[in-house]
Amino acid sequence: MTVPLIQPTAQGLYCAAGDFYIDPWRAVSRAVITHAHADHARSGSHHYWAAQPGIGLLRHRLGKRARISALAYGEPQAFGPVTVSLHPAGHVLGSAQIRVEHQGEIWVASGDYKRDTDLTCAPFEPVRCDTFITEATFALPVYRWPPVATVARAINQWWQTNAEAGRTTVLFCYALGKAQRLMAALGKDRPGPIYLHGAVAPLTQLYRDAGIHLPPAQRVSEAPSNEDFSRSLIIAPPSAAGSTWMRRFRKPATGFASGWMQIRGNRRRRGHDRGFVVSDHVDWPGLLQSIHDSGASQVLTTHGRADELVRYLNEQGLSARPLATLYGDGDDHSEDG
Amino acid sequence: MQAFAKLFQRLDEQRGTKAKVTAMADYFASASAADGAWAVYFLSGRRLKRLIGPVQLRQWLAQASGLPLWLIEQTHEHVGDLAETIALVLTEQPTQANPTAAIGLAEWVEANILPLRLLEDDQRRERVMQAWQTLSSEERFLYTKLLTGALRIGVSQTLVERALAKASNQPQPVIAHRLMGHWNPDADFYHGLFAERSGQEDASRPFPFFLAHPLETPTHQTLGPIEDWQIEWKWDGIRAQLVRRADAIYLWSRGEALINQQFPEIIEAAHALPIDTIIDGEILAWDEGVLPFAQLQRRLGRKRIDAKLLSEVPTRLLTYDLLEQDAIDIRTQPLTQRRTRLNQLLDTLNTPIMISPQVFADSWSELAKQHAESRSRGVEGFMLKAKASHYGTGRPRGPWWKWKISPLTLDAILVYAQPGHGRRANLYTDYSFAIRDGETLVPIAKAYSGLTDAEIRRLDRWIRRHTQERFGPVRAVEPVQVFELAFEGITPSRRHKSGLALRFPRIARWREDLGPNDADTLAQAQALLS
């Protein structure tokens, strides 16, 4: 048997023919990065390659001294006999699928991706390949995302109701990607000003620096001392829930935005007033569509509901198997949903 | 159904009780009497008998969705709720001018759901699959919940009463009384809820049970002088109300079940009571003294009580309170007066209906000494009732307190875990625990409650990473995590490998400071038996 073009090793997904890793979880010499989330972009490697729009975020994650080379989407980069190019994954700003071509064989490692509308990053671009490596975070048929515009309307309505009742609206969501995507989706009908938690603000600034148009927002800590926040929307990471930081808001109404909120049990268990279904991961129909669009005859799955997806695809006549990775938290309840 | 689905969604989204009451009151005020009656029926926790089982529903969902059955089964396991799985897997088909949208709850239940009982399987399937297609996702969820007889709406009876009181402009206790016992969810019943109070209220019904708040330790500072309090033993039996009418006698449990059949000797004795009397008390298994609850339980599961069981497990009604005398509701008289009347009433009788004795002490510290004897007396502690108190409704703080003995505890090892349901769906929350017996572990109890949400999430992650074996939904985990289990009693049992059964086991603490070798042993557990 020939060696697969990309295979899992102790360091991460490895392409032996080109001697580079994709999203390695240990320090390596050459790392191609799909996007800047912590479980995909880890520090310590000698040289990184990533898509141009996400370079700011990546530098923020990896530090000033990291050696990072930017690639435009579609721009070919040779690694010995292997040609690599990056293509939009629609997950967060600068997220990329990694196309790897060697002697006519094409693999695509899609990283995390989604097919739904996102005003803050380039939309997912189907790439034809022989082998498609896909995430399976939400790979069950109950996960179908409502249009994000509908969810944004519901958030604005909830915010309006809270404002009328003199309650501060606090929306918890992932600080990188989800927060900015939601800010952009809220549109012009916002009932009041937006404030950001200290973990969200710098990432939001990096989005602005990259030319992404977002509504104005201030840091909570920079608000005037007499601000009572009762008409405001506060965007904060899930870890801020229940912390002392929350005490500054009067009678806060809290919401959580995540794909996991699709399930009623999760909504209730989180103990927030509202759960909003918004995910930066692909849903079940999007997943099947993407596999179809790739034209791949072999599908390898990473983090999430890999078992079910693999069996389903095999029954559909594709060759599918799970790939051992350390992406995600290995459980159903990571905050990144 | 649309309006009811909206109500359900509002209740699901709102956390504050005030908002929930408003949502229900709005619905009650605008619903037709027929729809309103069914809504009250479901909101107050009543259910239809299950019409279709999960196996069939999963097969039908596989057909309707075109997905393989195994995937439906896996998805169901992940979601933890079949109706929700069905609601989410099937795509919405908002056919314009959906003719079913305007059909009310009553018509859905009476014309569509209940008649399914009479149909053949094929016809049922056709009806159900058609309904799934025409309903929105939220309606599909409710409709399927009704089919499975498992609709649970997270509102308490008290909130429903408050909402009806608000919508009908009637006092809450009146509404509460009207909702007790047996009634048919029809328009007449609903009109009756809204009607002015009359002397003709259904005579078979019990009053809402008045409940006590838990208390750590009573002191002069918290409760004032002990002379102001009537003190009784807190019995561990079945709280019940006995309704004596001219033509019939009704024995109601707190779960509003009629339990006449299980306790024939109490019903027989009740004939000696004057007509139009309502008594509150506790049913106990009693043979020269109180028997463990496990004995009483033998009476509960049976349709018919034979002579053998009657003689093996004799029962009594130990009475606490007199609520109605000579057809007059005396709940607002002071407790002392009601107690005197109850005493006079039962004084002359020598039957299984007896008064629960009072306990006297000169001070709270004196009383604490007697409290320490609770376990050896077979009681759970004390009930403290203000002598001036009315027999109210609900569980307010102040008039009545329960002062329970501290539970027994054992340090046990987590051995199996299973996902929960409802709020805990797709999390491992149902745990089995074992204690040590030499080199082996013997299961002793299952427990579901006691951990915080954060602990549950952390333990869930741990379970997923330390699974040794899977048996369907059950995971056997590395036997290393130790938990302190609290429970109210321990009895011999043939059901558990340990030969012991715990009463009301729950998790008191996650003992991360202990290793598996620190867990308690079978011998230690057996020592608690006495």
Residue B99 has pLDDT above 70, yes or no: no
pLDDT at B200 over 70: no
Evaluate whether B500 touches B490 at the Cβ level (below 8 Å).
yes
Across B215-227, average pLDDT: 89
List chain B residues with CB under 8 Å of A267.
12
Phi-psi region of B381 (alpha: psi -120 to 50; beta: other; left: phi over 0): left
Based on the fold, state whether residues A67 and A164 are members of the same structural domain. Answer: no
pTM for the full predicted model: 0.73
CA A54/CA A316 separation, integer angstroms: 36
The pLDDT score that the predictor gives to residue B303 is 64
Residue A246 is assigned to a structural domain of this protein:
yes
**Nearest chain B alpha carbon to A272:** B15
% chain B with pLDDT above 70: 95
- Here the CATH number for the domain that contains residue B455 is 2.40.50.140
Residue A66 domain flag: yes
pLDDT at A337 over 70: no
Confirm if B124 and B25 have CB atoms less than 8 A apart.
no
Tell me what pLDDT residue B199 has. Answer: 55
Does B68 reach chain A within 8 Å, measured CB to CB?
Answer: yes
Q: Indicate yes or no: CB of A269 within 8 angstroms of CB of B85.
A: no
A33-51: per-residue pLDDT in tens? 999 999 899 999 999 999 9
B492-521 pLDDT, tens digit per residue, is: 888 777 889 898 899 998 988 888 888 999
CATH of residue A287: 3.60.15.10
> Within this chain, do residues A139 and A285 fall inside the same structural domain, yes or no?
yes
Radius of gyration of chain A measured on its C-alpha atoms: 20
Instruction: Give the gap in angstroms from C-alpha A24 to the nearest C-alpha of chain B.
Output: 22
Mean pLDDT of the residues in chain B = 88
To the nearest 10°, report the CA torsion of B205, B208, B209, B214. Answer: 170
- Whether B368 and B429 share a structural domain: no
Chain A contacts of B84, Cβ < 8 Å? 142, 263-264
Q: Is residue B160 part of a domain?
A: no
Residue of B nearest to A310 (CA): B71
Per-residue confidence at A332, pLDDT binned at 50, 70, 90?
A: very low
Residue B76 predicted with pLDDT over 50: yes
Give chain A positions within 8 Å (CB) of B453.
269, 271
Asked whether the beta carbons of residue B464 and residue A330 sit closer than 8 angstroms, the reply is yes
Clarify whether residues B422 and B523 are in a common domain.
yes
pLDDT at site A235: 97
Quick one: pLDDT at residue A328? 55
Partner residue facing B423 (CB), from A141, A265, A305:
A265
pLDDT for the residue numbered B100: 64
The domain of A220 spans 148-276
Average pLDDT over residues A222-250: 90
The DSSP result for B78-99, as a single string, is: HHS-HHHHHHHHSPP---TT-T
Residue A156 has which token pair?
Answer: 């604005």
Number of domains in chain B: 3
Q: Do A333 and B461 touch (CB under 8 A)?
A: yes
Q: Are residues A109 and A48 in the same domain?
A: yes
Whole-angstrom distance, CA of residue A113 vs CA of residue B357: 71
Same domain, yes or no: A309 and A249: no
DSSP string, B158-184: HHHHHHHHHHHT--HHHHHHHHSS---
Q: How far apart are CA B237 and CA B210, in angstroms?
A: 16
Q: What is the DSSP string of A274-329?
A: EEE---SS--HHHHHHHHHHHT-SEEEEEEESHHHHHHHHHHTT-EEEE-----S-
Residues A120 and A161 in one domain: no
Quote ipTM for the complex: 0.91
**Number of Cβ pairs < 8 A linking chain A and chain B:** 77
Tally the domains of chain A: 2
Instruction: Say yes or no: B67 contacts chain A, CB-CB below 8 A.
Output: yes
Instruction: pLDDT band for A330, please (50, 70, 90 cuts).
Output: very low
The three-state (H, E, C) secondary structure of B469-511, written as one string: EEECCEEEECCCCEEEEEECEEEECCCCCCCEEEECCEEEEEC
Contact flag A315-B453 (C-beta cutoff 8 Å): no
Domain that holds residue B226: 213-404
- A101 belongs to a structural domain: yes
Kind of pairing between the strands at A82-88 and A233-236: unpaired
Whether A54 is covered by a domain: the verdict is: yes
